[in-house]
Amino acid sequence: MAEAARKFGVAEQPLYREAPNNIEAEQALLGAILVNNDAFYRVSDFLK
């Protein structure tokens, strides 16, 4: 199978993908929500 994938130029994909994460961005967002509850409503649609 891998040989056929290389033959046709198909890249091998992992069976699962790790969700993107950024600890600093998550901390900043949670801090903003704690300080101002309206921050959640401003970003909730964007983060879906």
**Domain range summary for the chain, segments of one domain joined by +:** 22-48
Joined tokens for residue 17:
């993908």
| Cβ atoms 39, 31 nearer than 8 A | no
Pairwise CA distance, residues 42 & 34, whole Å: 14
Inter-residue contact 29 to 43 (CB < 8 Å): yes
Query: pLDDT tens for residues 16-46?
Result: 878 778 999 989 989 998 999 888 888 888 8
User: For residues 28 and 45, what is the distance between their CA atoms, to the nearest angstrom?
Assistant: 17
Average pLDDT over residues 9-20: 73
What's the whole-number mean pLDDT along residues 6-19? Answer: 69
